[in-house]
Structure 1
Amino acid sequence: MRRWLPALCAAALLSPALPARALVPYVYVPTSEELNDAGVNIAGAAAGLLRIGQIAEARRLGRLAVQLLPDDPRAWLVLAEAELRSSDGNNRSEQTAKAEAALARAKELDPKNAGVWFAEGSLNLRNDRPAAAEQLLKEGLRLDPKNPGAYFDLGNAQIKQGNLGAALKSFEKASGLRQNFWEAVNNQGIVLFEEDRRDDAIDRWRQAVEMSDGEAEPMLALAAALYANGDDSADTLGLAVQALIKQPDYVLAAFQEDQLWGTKLVAATQELFENEQVKGAVQRAKGLATFQSN
């Protein structure tokens, strides 16, 4: 049976070929202002991802942000923070070097930006250079004297140098500037216990447990301090068991020391672990612990 083409198709087939026409693709080139706005948005997105712990994605966006904003210290600071947070992984030395390079660029662009000094201080603290960290953090606090996180890092740098009195003041300043800053209150307890102010340490750890809704560190420290004061009640031993369930790494003295626990608190905790009612939880935690010291 003969098939009829639609009229339009038939006309196209029977018409003479049209001359070829060169196609010029239209590519939109954004203005510098639009690129700047995009860079700012990307840097903001990277900062947001850092806040919720999506470090790898934040690092990717941070690197894109500095390409769009090569002269903006804020973009370099976000990238530095992403690289710094990434330095806890397997390629620590490489990521640390990248963080240092980003911070150097940010400082070059804006030496009066307190955030640059804080980030550099944090980097030195992580790399076990507490004296350098202290000086950098103090310079940042001269520019921004109401930053609770910087006071917290400063206290940690001072603990590492054995300057407990100064560390206590820094942690108290941090908790005074930020409501429910349980980490700073917890670290006040660490200092106070080493200074043999056990009752004050216990008070701080009770506060930290309540503020943190039962984080492992203040729970275990509180249990150890109470036990050292002669309290071997079921409530005290239960705190230790719950803490080890939440974070098994705290069973290791090396991990406790990494969290800046002093010798007296570590010894008190090891004594607590000898209690028969806690030994089962201790053995389970040892099997689950993953911390490895550097």
Structure 2
Amino acid sequence: MLRRIGFRRTLAAALVVLGGWFGTPAANALIPYVYLPTEKELKGSSIGIGRTAAQLLQLGQAKEAARRAALAVRLNPNDERFWSILAEAQLRNNNLKDASRSLARAKQLNPEKAGLWFAEAAIALRAERPNNAVLLISRGLQLDPNNAAAYFDLGNARIMQGVLPLALKSFEKATALKPEFWEALNNQALVLYEMGQRQEAVRRWRRVLKLEPNAEPMLALAAALHQQGEQTEAIQLASRALAQNPNYVLPLHQTEQLWGVRIREATAQLLSETELTNSVERAQANATWKNRH
């Protein structure tokens, strides 16, 4: 409102000056006006802005994405897609309360969209509210029962609840739907290790590494092998894992990744080996996780 008033005053002053220069305008003279876009045009503009916000999210530019998405919802507040994009951007900026409000608005507009329930569950997991997350994911799965990522999140929520058999069941459902879902297979191994099924955990970590040579399963496998006395392979794997992702040298990072007590203890014993001293010291110096907390 204030901006509109300011513009009108400026425009009126300009017309007074023009009148002084050119005299009184004729009755049929064109009078300058401010163009007001139609509702249809505003909605069309919001689509382009919303699409740009989504692209910025894909590029990792969460702050700029949030600004664009906020503009999109102002232009078209009745499209749940823009609210969900805004919520995702706010979530990536760690604005959990704002993200929750945006998702609540999106769900009001389209309560039958499973992705909105899953997104709200992701916020609950970030806020360490696994009971709430389980309810939200379960509701989403009623709408979209073949969503592998949702079963993965459900497994993580079950780990946080301490219900390991149900966590394992969820992760196995995820890989049944998506066989190359290595993150879910990795978490199966983490759960199995905590349940005392160490040989099976080792087998699944080896399967993970065939799909994705990632630092997390690599170090976890190394720790498990070290417990079995397979020293040489354990040292080699651990050295490679720490070079690839130094953050896993930190117990707090392991905990954040839902590593259980048994695998963390096994990893601590492995990393205390003198053959890994240099690798451990380098990883501790290069770890970035500690700088974000």
Q: TM-score range by the shorter chain?
A: 0.7 to 0.9
Deviating above 4 A after TM superposition, structure 1's stretches of 4 or more consecutive aligned residues are 17-28
> Which residue number in structure 2 is paired with residue 229 of structure 1?
228
Whether 1:238 and 2:236 are equivalent positions in the alignment is: yes
Structure with larger Rg: 1
The equivalences for 1:237-276 within 5 A come to 237-276=235-274
Q: Corresponding residue for 2:44?
A: 37
- In structure 2, distance between residues paired with 1:256 and 1:111: 36
* Residues 1:84 and 1:18: Cα distance change in structure 2 (over 3 Å): closer
- Asked whether 1:204 is paired with 2:211, we answer no
2: CA distance, partners of 1:126 / 1:205: 26
- 2:6 corresponds to which residue? none
Between 1:249-258 and 1:106-115, the stretch displaced more is 106-115
Distance 1:34 1:176 in 2: 46
Identify if the C-alpha distance between structure 1 residues 245 and 86 changes in structure 2 by more than 3 Å, giving closer, same or farther.
same
Q: C-alpha distance in 2, partners of 1:23/1:238? A: 81
Name the residue aligned to 2:285.
287
Give the structure with the larger helix fraction: 2
> Counterpart amino acid of 1:130?
P
> Is 2:55 the counterpart of 1:48?
yes
TM-score by length of 2: 0.85
Partners of 1:222 and 1:75 in 2: how far apart? Answer: 42
User: Closer, same or farther in 2 for the Cα pair 1:146/1:37, shift >3 Å?
Assistant: farther
Residues in 2 aligned to 1:211 and 1:134: alpha-carbon distance in whole angstroms = 28
Residue in 2 that maps onto 1:218: 217
The number of equivalent residue pairs is 269
Which amino acid is 1:43 matched to?
G
Q: Distance in 1 between matches of 2:178 and 2:91?
A: 23
**TM-score, normalized by length of structure 1?**
0.85
User: d(CA) in 2 for partners of 1:19 and 1:138?
Assistant: 73
The residue number in structure 1 matching 2:69 is 62
Distance 1:255 1:180 in 2: 25
Letter in 1 for 2:46: G
For 2:250, give the aligned amino acid. Answer: L
CA deviation map 1:22-52 (0-9, x unaligned): 8744655433223212212322332233233
SS at match of 2:236: helix
Alignment of 1:132-211 (within 5 A): 132-211=132-211
Q: Give the match for residue 7 of structure 2.
A: none
Look up the match of 1:75. 82
> Unaligned 5+ residue runs, structure 2?
1-20
When structure 1 is superposed on structure 2, of 182-191 and 167-176 the one drifting more is 167-176
For residue 248 of structure 2, what is the amino acid of its counterpart?
Y
Equivalent-residue separation in structure 1 for 2:204 and 2:59 (angstroms): 28
| SS of residue matched to 1:209 | helix
In structure 2, the CA distance between the partners of 1:24 and 1:220, relative to structure 1 (3 Å rule), is farther
- The 2-side partners of 1:83 and 1:135 are apart by 22
Structure 1 alignment gaps of length 5 or more: 1-16, 88-94
Partner in structure 1 of residue 3 of structure 2: none
Which residue does the alignment assign to 2:108? 108
* Root mean square deviation, CA, Å: 2.1
